Structure 1
Amino acid sequence: MGPWIGRVVLAGLAFLTGCGTERVPVVPVAVKAPVRVARCVLKFPDALAGDVARARLERDISRYVRGRPGRVVYGVLDLVSGVTFGQGEHEHDMITASGVKVDILTALLLRRSGGLDEGERDLAARMIKESDNSAADALWSRVGGGDAMSGFYRRVGLRETTPGPSRFWGGTNTSPADRIRLLKVLVRGGKGLGAADRGLVLGLMGRVQKDQSWGVSAAARPGDRVALKNGWTPRPFIHNTWAVTSYGRVAGPGRDLLLSVQTDQQPGEGTGIETIERVSRMIGTRLDALTPTTTRPCPTNPIP
């Protein structure tokens, strides 16, 4: 082997040796995380289950009310689901007592196209938040008394409400159905009542003082907003009993509940409050069950 050929062989050996010792770069391989495929389901209203749940609730409330003293009537409307029911909701001889104070303010707002003056706004706040009777006397007079209130009731469609005689606004008679109608106007508008006026009334109802926040507020879940007005009065000429009422709006995720519970011939104020809150709590706790849904898997073969 000649010197030139030897150099070529040695060079080749050196090249091979170098290839054997050099590290080959490692290229990372991307590993995909497992993909979670969401199960496709469709939701449908379960009307039959809803009817069964409502019948059970009405039965349970009726059973409870039968064991309570005096008269107990109520009405329910959920503006989100459209669910509506009640017991004695058209009995229109239920005394309102201070519950009529919302009517007085609403009627006055309809008469004041330019809004209330400062003094009237102060009276309105005291009448609703504190249930001040002197403030109610003053505004009842300004609105025009019972005759003017009769016109107001016709205008807003409260067919089952009769104003108290003369200056006795607390003697106004009404029904749970009419309390619901009034609340619906306050929430959704109409009948000539503007958004600002509706906001004023509902805002005051949402800030009643703490010792007067009992009643239909028992239907509220944690975080729900409540706007209500209560009424309570002794009735010395009816066996020394009491009339106790509560109506209002309970709104939150998935519901906008309008509720009125009225009692009469109660042995005391506390008994009436206890009954109202028990009925309200039963309704609030079980309302969602009245509009259940059922699920079905999505179709696997789409329509061409």
Structure 2
Amino acid sequence: MPYRLFSLSRPHSMGGHRGRRAVACAGVILASVTTFLSLDAITAEPARAATSSSHTDTHEGAAGPMEKKPEARVTAAVLSLDGAHPEPTVYGADTPYDTASIIKVDILAAVLLQAQDEGRSLTPQEEEYAKAMIEHSDNDSTSALWRQIGLAPGLEAANKRLGLTATKGGPGPLWGLTQTTASDQIRLLRVLFDTGPATHTKATDATDASVAKDAKDAEDSTTLNEASRAYIRTLMAHVADDQAWGVSAAGPGAEWALKNGWLQRSTTGLWDINSVGQVTVEGHRYLVAVLSDGNTSMKDGISVVEHAARTAVSSASAR
């Protein structure tokens, strides 16, 4: 699928969830972020302390000491599910970022694919892990399912079936250091949320009905079936209140289903802040993925991500 790359500073062409308001994040964006996020005028102020949270991602990188802190960077990708453009728009460099906890959606997709292959539903234990992993971002549950799918090789085998091309699993038990791109996250979100007319062909007679059923069975054997997709969507629409930020801020009164990730790096003290999901703004559905790193605090990183999400959706709605 082709992807259109845009600069955040000046876009130009190169080619029923439960709705809740996002938690207000009033941190001011650092001036260093303007390298990638300068669509609107930004006033720089000193960084503030990170917001408190009931959960903190703890998987750290192995990078050595750095002489100076890098500038923060952010990449956003958006796809309108109701628009005329079949491919997403990417703002910023579509380069790899560490996933932190957004990988938990991908891990659950791999678990469900394995269950489908075995012709079974999730066990009660798997359902308990899945709910804790997505709704509360529980790390222990994630580690259990990461081991179950076979670590990075299992994830990458599932992603090949799901159509992801730029996601590389983290080393050993470090699922949070999986690397991905914004466009690859849109590919995953499209598997989960794009239930357009192509997947619901109306049969005109018994022969057409048989052909449609065979096609659906073939699809379900290689990728997630509708029951599995709906299960993930439901969990993403019910994340804990203190984690209802990020792409949910894409528009006023937006309905959403999302997963966020946040990770403070031990070598620099800087933060990776990511958010992916679907938002419905004024009746229109958008898939949004925002990845960032090098943020001075969690609070500032959330502000960066929410600003990028609003900018991306606003631009998509204007096309």
**TM-score, structure 2 as length reference:** 0.68
**Which of residues 5, 8, 11 is equivalent to 1:58?**
11
Does the 8 A contact of 2:10 with 2:39 survive in 1? no
> Could you tell me how far apart the structure 1 residues matched to 2:317 and 2:40 are?
22
**What's the counterpart of residue 308 of structure 2?**
279
Seen in structure 2, the aligned counterparts of structure 1 residues 176 and 226 have a Cα distance that, compared at 3 Å, is same
Task: Give 1:56 shift.
Answer: 8.3
Seen in structure 2, the aligned counterparts of structure 1 residues 90 and 271 have a Cα distance that, compared at 3 Å, is same
> Could you tell me how far apart the structure 2 residues matched to 1:146 and 1:125 are?
21
**What's the counterpart of residue 109 of structure 1?**
112
**What's the counterpart of residue 139 of structure 1?**
145
Task: Give 1:89 shift.
Answer: 5.3
Task: Give 1:286 shift.
Answer: 4.9
**TM-score, structure 1 as length reference:** 0.71
- The AA in structure 1 aligned to 2:78 is V
Q: Are 2:244 and 1:241 aligned?
A: no
**What's the counterpart of residue 76 of structure 1?**
78
> Could you tell me how far apart the structure 2 residues matched to 1:215 and 1:254 are?
19
> Could you tell me how far apart the structure 2 residues matched to 1:155 and 1:65 are?
39
Does the 8 A contact of 1:231 with 1:244 survive in 2? yes
Over residues 258-303 of structure 1, what are the superposed CA-to-partner deviations in whole Å (9 max), with x where a residue is unaligned? 011111111111111011111222333454322xxxxxxxxxxxxx
Secondary structure of 2:122's partner?
coil
Does the 8 A contact of 2:167 with 2:184 survive in 1? yes
> Could you tell me how far apart the structure 1 residues matched to 2:8 and 2:258 are?
27
**What's the counterpart of residue 225 of structure 1?**
255
Over residues 93-134 of structure 1, what are the superposed CA-to-partner deviations in whole Å (9 max), with x where a residue is unaligned? x01000100011000000002120111101100000000001
Does the 8 A contact of 1:57 with 1:283 survive in 2? no
- The AA in structure 1 aligned to 2:289 is S
Does the 8 A contact of 1:73 with 1:261 survive in 2? yes
> Could you tell me how far apart the structure 2 residues matched to 1:62 and 1:276 are?
10
**What's the counterpart of residue 298 of structure 2?**
269
Secondary structure of 2:161's partner?
helix
> Could you tell me how far apart the structure 2 residues matched to 1:286 and 1:85 are?
9
Unaligned runs of 5+ residues in structure 1 are 1-53, 291-304
Secondary structure of 2:229's partner?
helix
Identical-residue share of aligned pairs (%): 34
Q: Are 2:190 and 1:184 aligned?
A: yes
> Could you tell me how far apart the structure 2 residues matched to 1:55 and 1:262 are?
13
- The AA in structure 1 aligned to 2:277 is G
> Could you tell me how far apart the structure 2 residues matched to 1:122 and 1:146 are?
22
Q: Are 2:89 and 1:85 aligned?
A: yes
Does the 8 A contact of 1:205 with 1:229 survive in 2? yes
> Could you tell me how far apart the structure 1 residues matched to 2:111 and 2:11 are?
37
Secondary structure of 1:250's partner?
strand
> Could you tell me how far apart the structure 2 residues matched to 1:121 and 1:231 are?
21
**What's the counterpart of residue 286 of structure 2?**
257
Q: How many residues align?
A: 234
Provide the alpha-carbon RMSD of the alignment. 2.4
Over residues 70-92 of structure 1, what are the superposed CA-to-partner deviations in whole Å (9 max), with x where a residue is unaligned? 11111111011144322235212
- The AA in structure 1 aligned to 2:98 is I
Seen in structure 2, the aligned counterparts of structure 1 residues 249 and 57 have a Cα distance that, compared at 3 Å, is farther
Q: Which has the higher contact order (CA 8 A, sep 6+)?
A: 2
Q: Are 2:176 and 1:174 aligned?
A: no
The structure that has the greater radius of gyration is: 1
> Could you tell me how far apart the structure 2 residues matched to 1:156 and 1:65 are?
36
Higher strand share: 1
- The AA in structure 2 aligned to 1:196 is A
> Could you tell me how far apart the structure 2 residues matched to 1:167 and 1:65 are?
40
Does the 8 A contact of 1:96 with 1:171 survive in 2? yes
Does the 8 A contact of 2:75 with 2:292 survive in 1? yes
> Could you tell me how far apart the structure 1 residues matched to 2:246 and 2:139 are?
20
Does the 8 A contact of 1:226 with 1:248 survive in 2? yes
**What's the counterpart of residue 299 of structure 1?**
none
> Could you tell me how far apart the structure 2 residues matched to 1:255 and 1:137 are?
36
- The AA in structure 2 aligned to 1:86 is V
Task: Give 1:252 shift.
Answer: 5.1
> Could you tell me how far apart the structure 2 residues matched to 1:251 and 1:148 are?
32
Does the 8 A contact of 1:65 with 1:72 survive in 2? no
Task: Give 1:220 shift.
Answer: 3.3
Does the 8 A contact of 2:255 with 2:280 survive in 1? yes
> Could you tell me how far apart the structure 2 residues matched to 1:187 and 1:57 are?
29
Q: Are 2:162 and 1:156 aligned?
A: yes
Secondary structure of 1:63's partner?
coil
